[in-house]
Amino acid sequence: MRRTMLALSALALSVPLAVGLHSPAQAGNKVTDAQRLAVVLADPRRDSDRVRDQYRHPAETLTFFKVKPGMTVIDYMPSSGWYARVLVPYLGEKGRYIGLNPDVRAGSDRMKANFANAHQSFPALAAPWFAGMTGTGTIDAWNSDDVPADLKGKVDRVLIMREMHNLWRTDLLRRELATVWSLLGKDGMLGIEQHRANGKAPASYLDGSMGYLRQQDVIALIEACGFELVGKSEINANKKDPANWPGGVWTLPPNLSGVTDPAEKARLTEIGESDRMTLLFRKRK
């Protein structure tokens, strides 16, 4: 499997990978990680993304996951790239961003359409995001069945952001977590953000099709796959969310799926995005 890298000269699949830090501390070369992240989050390129910061808390979340510039970080199922647009400039020129999609060779036609051929589809999607940036590192993209053998044991962090329910309902969870385990270095960590179901939610609501999972179940599943819990955070909690919507998590913003009544849209918008667990695991030796 060929390695996919974004570079401006790479035939429309790439871009100059970098961001300039316009911080008062830059002149003295003493920019802290927090300052660097603040600059990245304030970049005008994120103007359309920033509306979701109040729900996703990227600065607090990445700090809790102990993500630092220069690391090799996997963004699992990067989708539309919301976190990629934060991570790539934050990791910097010594860092390495990897968008990783699941192995869907035996999956449905829809899964193949959405997730296959990451080495081609993700760079094409990402190219305009970083056009004109300078000073950032490598961007790679693979499916989990195509990851180069020499990457095993070299990854610092794997982030799975609101995708555990998809892995659970498609029966990919154990296989994909085994791949994640093999890619992480001995001090590597796995960060999870996931829509959180009510602790007493019935089993019929927890098959993944509603987007919500119980926190205790997620912890148990991940620990059963070779990890141990390091910490829990309420950074992304939302106590206004009852997490029992008949239409699942997509009833809430930003989707507001199936909601047409203006008053109901206003009520749901006031609730905000879903209640979420934020968990950090280390690779169990």
CB count within 10 Å of CB 67 equals 22
Cα 169 to Cα 107: distance, rounded to the nearest angstrom: 12
Q: Are 203 and 219 contacting, i.e. CB atoms less than 8 angstroms apart? A: no
The pLDDT value recorded for residue 109 is 87
Strand partners, 277: 194
CATH architecture for segment(s) 26-241+276-283: 3-Layer(aba) Sandwich (3.40)
Q: Give pLDDT, residue 226.
A: 96
| Confidence (pLDDT) at 228 | 98
Closest CA to 273 of 160, 161, 111, 159: 161
Q: Where are the domains of the chain?
A: 26-241+276-283
Q: Tell me phi and psi for residue 31, to 5 degrees.
A: -70, 125
Mean pLDDT by 10 residues, the chain (285 residues): 37 36 50 95 95 97 98 96 96 95 87 86 87 83 95 97 96 96 97 96 96 98 97 98 97 96 98 98 91
What residues contact residue 140 under an 8 Å CB cut-off, 6+ apart? 3, 4, 5, 96, 97, 98, 99
Question: Which pLDDT score, from 0 to 100, does residue 231 have?
Answer: 98
φ, ψ at 142 (rounded to 5°):
-145, 165
The confidence score (pLDDT) of residue 285 equals 79
**DSSP H helical segments within 24-183, as ranges?**
33-42, 53-56, 58-64, 84-91, 109-115, 118-126, 164-169, 173-183
Dihedral, 211, 214, 220, 224 alpha carbons, nearest 10: -10
Instruction: Give pLDDT, residue 14.
Output: 34
Structure tokens at 174: 């154990």
What pTM, to 2 d.p., does this model score?
A: 0.89
DSSP SS3 for 4: coil
Question: For residue 134, what pLDDT is reported?
Answer: 77
The one-letter amino acid code at 267 reads R
pLDDT tens digits, one per residue of 64-113: 999 999 999 999 999 999 999 999 999 999 999 999 999 988 788 888 88
At 194 the three-state DSSP class reads strand
